[in-house]
Structure 1
Amino acid sequence: MAGRKKKRYSMRGKMITVNMGIMLGALLLCGSIFVFSVFFIISDYIHHDMDFFLTATADGMESGLSYLEKVIYALRDSETVMGYMEKSRNGRLTEEECRTLEAAFSRAVDISSPENLGNVQMPAALEISLADSRGDFVSTGYYAMPTSEKETGARVFREVFRAFEKESAESGAGYFYQEREDGLFLAFPLYDGLMDRAGTVLFKLNKEALEKRMEELTANYPGAFWVLCDRTGKSLDGGNQEAFWNTAGAERETFEEYRYEPFRMETGGRDYRAYRKLLPMDLQVFLGIPENHAMMLMYSSVRIYVLLIAVITGCGCLFLLVLIYRLTKPIEEITDKLQAVKEGNFETKLPAYDSREFNEISEVFNEMTAYVNNLIKEVYEKQISIKEMELKFLQTQMNPHFMFNVLNTLSLQAKMDGNEELFRMISTFSQLIQAKIYRSGEEKVTLGQELSYVEYYLYLQSYRFGERLSYEIAVSEEKLKEQYIPKLCIQLIVENAVVHGLEPKVDNGFVKVSVYRQEGCICIDTVDDGVGFGADGEVALPLEKREKDSAHNHVGLGNVHHMIQLMYGEAYGVTVFSSPGRGSTVRIRIPEDQGEPEKSEEEWQKKESG
């Protein structure tokens, strides 16, 4: 168990999971709040619209039946009608009086008036009759009828009149409604100014017109009901009446309580938005719309918002996936580059990123690989460069021809003079050989030691060239001699000045080595008045190798420049200034270096003797 490898998770997967959870949670919460807010707001509007529709429908029924009430008032206000009705109490009217009464009755009723048609353009009352106390009556109808239909209608009106008289005598009813196969009939007493009964008005109502007024209710709201009743609750007409009468007794008391405004009720196991309206002629209408229609309307209204939230959520998830993929893509690149570094490719680089954090990682990574690569190159290339310089020097300067000339010079001088100069030459040559050979493992020496090597070299060359060569070594501060410098770098440049600058010159030559401090750095100028480099002004390094003189070339300048840059950086190195025919100046620029002290001359002597 202790050795089990810990399971690692993908940062990209973790980011997707966490951000998806946060986003979906926030969207669902906000979406739910929004949908429920819209739901409740729309719910109020929908219920308000349903209530308005119920009241408007009931008002339409009221406007259609108000015509019947107006007929009663018009007959009561007609002096002709009321006069003949009073006269009929004392005996039957003559035919002339009957015709006069019928004409006055038709004018008062005005059965073709717009009030009878209503907004459905169908008459609420098809026929209207006025009966006296003996049952004689006059009639008028909306449609013209043949005599046979008139006689049939008169017979039906007499039957309704007798039924009303009978019920009125038995129960004292003030009105009478009767539904027959050929229509809905209403009998209503007509009173005079003294509230004495003068006659009876009989109406044949048009059930088709009543149902037409309710057609919009049943068409727009399937399952809705409407019931037309008298004040006692007797049903006269309606649609889907079973839904209402399933709760017959219990809900009537509820209707009495909520008479003038729509309300919610349960009937037949369903919830309804119900409304009761009192109508003229002692009628009332009950209307109801199933509540599920409100839910359906609310759902259809909210559905677009739900779909919109779903689309936004989907787009948000897709956008988040793409965003996280793009944000985490640099991690894959960094991983690949680290793997390349692991395999030894230190020249690999990361690109620049738009993200500040990843761009900082890229810059640090690139700096790190460049630094590591530079260190590797410094370790190997610096050693190689030093070895190549030493080998080149030994191959070019310490070749047999050079050694032969030096030894001949020493031998001739010993034979001719036999003085101390011979000893000095031999001693100088010996020390120069020590610097070149026995200190080959050291990279740096003090500036004082390096200048002594230069002086050894120039002293020996002065014997070769005689009066043709003169030299000077100047140091601005004695403390500068304690600074460290790459071994033989000045000697190589002085050698270059002698071999390439002064040796081709016919006249005498002069070489000066100046050491001074400038802007926190150490500068070593080697100035000669030789032939120059063939170019005027600053000369770029490395110089081109001359094939015709492979033994003496300017490769040493390039090697010194490269070695200094490897040790100290590209801000330092060698700069060459040339003036053809007048000489050249080679400047070495290095930082102050307090490096490890070198071995003393005695230690080298011991090493040599050992």
Structure 2
Amino acid sequence: MKVKNKDRIKRQNKKTIRSEMVNMLVWTSIMTMLLVGGGLSVIIFQWSSIALREDMDFYMESVEKQFTNHLLFWERSVIYLSENENMNYFFRTGSTEGIEKVMKQGINLFSNQNMVSDTFPIVSDYYVFSKNMEYKGIHFYPETQSADNIKNTRIIDGIKRYRDQDKMFYYRKNGQEIECYFSVYDDDMERMGYCVAIFDMENINKIFSKLEKYQTYYWSIQTNDGTEIGGTGLNGILKDELINLDGEIKKDHKKYLYKKNQDSFGLSTYIIIPKSKLYLDIRPGFQLAWAIAVSMFIAVVVSALYYSRRVTYPLQRIVKKIEQVGTGDFETKLENYNILEFQQISDSFNEMTVRIETLIKEVYETQLLVKEARLQYLQAQINPHFMFNVLTMIAIKVKKHRDEELYQTVTSFAGLMRGKLFRRNEVEIKLKEEMEIAGFYLYLQSERFKDIITYNIEWESDEIKECYVPRLCIEPIVENAVIHGLEPKGTEGRIRVAIREASEDSINIVVEDDGVGFNVNEMDDRKDNKNPRVGVMNIQRLIRNLYGDKYGVLFQSEIGKGTIVTVCLPMRKDRTV
């Protein structure tokens, strides 16, 4: 049983042909997927990075150009106003008659360049001032009189501040508005008056919001002195670090792509985008490449599973048929196959089962003949039951004649025969019954060698008498002690049998004699039937087959001093077999 279990475990640990085929094809698929996916990824990366870099440069340049074109509106409007005679007259005298009409005409000429998305103006208000501080303002959005008065007051204050500074352009922020103050000159570069343009930063943001496709971006509008008047900032990058009009810069271990432009009215625009955002548009290409590779992998795995099953299914059928033969079904047959090698196996297998079935029938018939011969032999022998009944009858007659010693001798002999001959079908019996058989033997030998052989049997407790032990596991050892230990001694000898608990789940039966003893190391070299170890080793194999290697028989012997044999058995109150 143990051998079968070990063989079954070994088979379970073995790999199948199908698993090996699937593993081989799966690993091939993985390598193919990595090569295809990696190769496509490299190609897509190289091609896309160039194309997307050009696209990003174009996009940044396009946004800057839009902002520049919107500033051209105001530049052209100023040129128009400076060349208009009515405006020149206003600048010199401060007369505002007809000035509003001229200002509206100038705005209408270039209004399409002022609008973002044809709806939102970049310059929401502008004013003109004469030398004597007379002024006129135009608003793109209607305003209440009170709001107009507040704004006029703020603009007049701004003009006064601008006149006190030696600057060509003066910028001032007011919420979402940027006020730009500058002077108007004639052909001889003489100052005629002043202009104020109010930029709507909310509408300027709409121009740069087109960069949101890159998720993270930075832009800034700065004056000549580096003052930022609008934008998100440059993420810690200084404008002096941006040497060229466009290029790449590294800051804090990160790379950025940038564009800068020098615009009208003393303004410069800067756009910076992290280079990592360049790869956002490459991602779909990578996903496509790996989708192709994974699809190939799945297709190969599915194919591997299909074809491996197609190849291994006949093998599984063959293994199943072989197992059926192992259970004794020799009529099972393998079917025909289209594959030549499998068909050859099928033919050989079918021929083998026919031959085995024929041989078994022959062996079975031979065994029947042998069994019949043995039966005839047994019938010719003395019936053991008859012999036991005769011994019992003799014991009863001896008992009637009051010969107790002879009665005990006959009874012990009958009990010994009964234990050895009539309980052969029992593998295990109770310990008290086994010791009763050993006691019968010892009594008979003590009667035979009167005053030479003595014995005693010691029980540690009555509880262990009910334990089950292998039949005839103690009597042969006691018999060995008498035949090989005490008889060769020729003088008085004693046998002591002690039964005691070894642990909570085991017991020891110790058979000790003071006979001639023997050399344990030389005992294995004796090959004759007189070797006492032959019978004991049979007991050893029986115990270990029943209970495991933890239990068995232990020899201790010394020449001239005697022998001690210890039998270790489990403490069981029910049968194992």
Question: Does the 8 A contact of 1:174 with 1:189 survive in 2?
Answer: yes
Partner of 2:56: 50
Distance 2:115 2:324 in 1: 96
Give CA-to-partner distance per residue, 1:100-128, whole Å, 9 cap, x none.
34433332343882222232511211221
Question: Does the 8 A contact of 1:231 with 1:283 survive in 2?
Answer: yes
Question: Does the 8 A contact of 1:78 with 1:108 survive in 2?
Answer: no
Residue identity matched to 1:155: T
Distance 1:137 1:268 in 2: 51
Sort the Cα spacing of 1:349 and 1:122 in 2 relative to 1 into closer, same or farther, 3 A: closer
Q: Which has the larger radius of gyration?
A: 1
Partner of 2:236: 246
Distance 2:29 2:214 in 1: 41
Sort the Cα spacing of 1:122 and 1:8 in 2 relative to 1 into closer, same or farther, 3 A: closer
Residue identity matched to 2:236: N
Partner of 1:351: 336
Pairs within 5 Å for 1:311-322: 311-322=295-306
Question: Does the 8 A contact of 2:334 with 2:349 survive in 1?
Answer: no
Stretches of structure 1 that go unaligned for 5 or more consecutive residues are: 378-610
Sort the Cα spacing of 1:267 and 1:137 in 2 relative to 1 into closer, same or farther, 3 A: farther
Which of residues 58, 67, 82 in structure 2 aligns to 1:76?
82
Residue identity matched to 1:11: I
- The answer to whether 1:366 aligns with 2:366 is no
Pairs within 5 Å for 1:124-139: 124-139=122-137
Give CA-to-partner distance per residue, 1:285-325, whole Å, 9 cap, x none.
11223344334443355335434533442342232122112
Sort the Cα spacing of 1:319 and 1:276 in 2 relative to 1 into closer, same or farther, 3 A: same
Partner of 1:198: 192
How far 1:58 sits from its partner (Å)?
Answer: 1.9
Residue identity matched to 2:273: I
Question: Does the 8 A contact of 1:120 with 1:209 survive in 2?
Answer: no
Sort the Cα spacing of 1:200 and 1:344 in 2 relative to 1 into closer, same or farther, 3 A: closer
Distance 1:128 1:347 in 2: 106
Question: Does the 8 A contact of 2:90 with 2:130 survive in 1?
Answer: no
Which of residues 208, 215, 219 in structure 2 aligns to 1:226?
219
Distance 1:198 1:338 in 2: 114
- The answer to whether 1:287 aligns with 2:271 is yes
Residue identity matched to 1:134: N
Partner of 2:470: none
Pairs within 5 Å for 1:599-610: none
Sort the Cα spacing of 1:372 and 1:325 in 2 relative to 1 into closer, same or farther, 3 A: closer
Partner of 1:184: 178
Sort the Cα spacing of 1:360 and 1:100 in 2 relative to 1 into closer, same or farther, 3 A: closer
Give the total of aligned pairs: 349
Partner of 1:255: 242
Distance 2:145 2:37 in 1: 73
Question: Does the 8 A contact of 1:274 with 1:289 survive in 2?
Answer: yes
Deviates more, 1:112-121 or 1:61-70: 112-121
Give CA-to-partner distance per residue, 1:478-502, whole Å, 9 cap, x none.
xxxxxxxxxxxxxxxxxxxxxxxxx
Question: Does the 8 A contact of 1:75 with 1:109 survive in 2?
Answer: no
Give CA-to-partner distance per residue, 1:323-353, whole Å, 9 cap, x none.
1121133334455667889989699455131
CA RMSD of aligned residues (A): 3.8
How far 1:235 sits from its partner (Å)?
Answer: 0.6
- The answer to whether 1:302 aligns with 2:286 is yes
Secondary structure of the 1:228 match is: strand
The alignment's TM-score, normalised by the length of structure 1, stands at 0.50
Secondary structure of the 1:194 match is: coil
Distance 2:209 2:323 in 1: 81
How far 1:236 sits from its partner (Å)?
Answer: 0.7
Distance 1:346 1:152 in 2: 113
Secondary structure of the 2:282 match is: helix
Sort the Cα spacing of 1:69 and 1:268 in 2 relative to 1 into closer, same or farther, 3 A: farther
How far 1:223 sits from its partner (Å)?
Answer: 3.6
Question: Does the 8 A contact of 1:63 with 1:118 survive in 2?
Answer: no
Distance 2:300 2:216 in 1: 42
Give CA-to-partner distance per residue, 1:461-482, whole Å, 9 cap, x none.
xxxxxxxxxxxxxxxxxxxxxx
Sort the Cα spacing of 1:245 and 1:19 in 2 relative to 1 into closer, same or farther, 3 A: closer
- The answer to whether 1:275 aligns with 2:259 is yes
Question: Does the 8 A contact of 1:74 with 1:109 survive in 2?
Answer: no
Give CA-to-partner distance per residue, 1:500-526, whole Å, 9 cap, x none.
xxxxxxxxxxxxxxxxxxxxxxxxxxx
Sort the Cα spacing of 1:23 and 1:182 in 2 relative to 1 into closer, same or farther, 3 A: closer
Distance 2:262 2:305 in 1: 65
- The answer to whether 1:62 aligns with 2:73 is no
Distance 2:319 2:104 in 1: 105
Residue identity matched to 1:225: Y
Give CA-to-partner distance per residue, 1:192-251, whole Å, 9 cap, x none.
222332222211222222123233435x44442221112332111112x2xx15232xxx
How far 1:28 sits from its partner (Å)?
Answer: 1.8
Which of residues 113, 132, 138 in structure 2 aligns to 1:140?
138
Question: Does the 8 A contact of 1:111 with 1:125 survive in 2?
Answer: no
How far 1:98 sits from its partner (Å)?
Answer: 2.4
Question: Does the 8 A contact of 1:334 with 1:350 survive in 2?
Answer: no
- The answer to whether 1:21 aligns with 2:27 is yes
Sort the Cα spacing of 1:178 and 1:341 in 2 relative to 1 into closer, same or farther, 3 A: closer
Distance 2:353 2:106 in 1: 118
Pairs within 5 Å for 1:388-427: none
Distance 2:14 2:145 in 1: 104
Secondary structure of the 1:82 match is: helix
Distance 1:101 1:340 in 2: 114
Sort the Cα spacing of 1:213 and 1:306 in 2 relative to 1 into closer, same or farther, 3 A: same
Question: Does the 8 A contact of 1:275 with 1:287 survive in 2?
Answer: yes
Distance 2:349 2:143 in 1: 114
Question: Does the 8 A contact of 1:247 with 1:268 survive in 2?
Answer: no
Sort the Cα spacing of 1:147 and 1:12 in 2 relative to 1 into closer, same or farther, 3 A: closer
Residue identity matched to 2:242: F
Secondary structure of the 2:221 match is: strand
- The answer to whether 1:211 aligns with 2:205 is yes
Distance 1:69 1:221 in 2: 32
Distance 2:316 2:105 in 1: 100
Stretches of structure 2 that go unaligned for 5 or more consecutive residues are: 1-9, 359-577
How far 1:99 sits from its partner (Å)?
Answer: 0.6
- The answer to whether 1:329 aligns with 2:313 is yes
Sort the Cα spacing of 1:185 and 1:362 in 2 relative to 1 into closer, same or farther, 3 A: same
Sort the Cα spacing of 1:364 and 1:313 in 2 relative to 1 into closer, same or farther, 3 A: closer
Secondary structure of the 1:280 match is: coil
Give CA-to-partner distance per residue, 1:40-75, whole Å, 9 cap, x none.
433444444433332222222222222111112212
- The answer to whether 1:236 aligns with 2:242 is no
Question: Does the 8 A contact of 2:169 with 2:180 survive in 1?
Answer: yes
Secondary structure of the 1:12 match is: helix
Partner of 1:164: 162
Distance 1:337 1:13 in 2: 21
Distance 1:237 1:226 in 2: 8
Distance 1:208 1:108 in 2: 24
Question: Does the 8 A contact of 1:341 with 1:348 survive in 2?
Answer: no
Partner of 1:265: 249
Percent same amino acid at aligned positions? 14
Which of residues 103, 106, 110 in structure 2 aligns to 1:105?
103
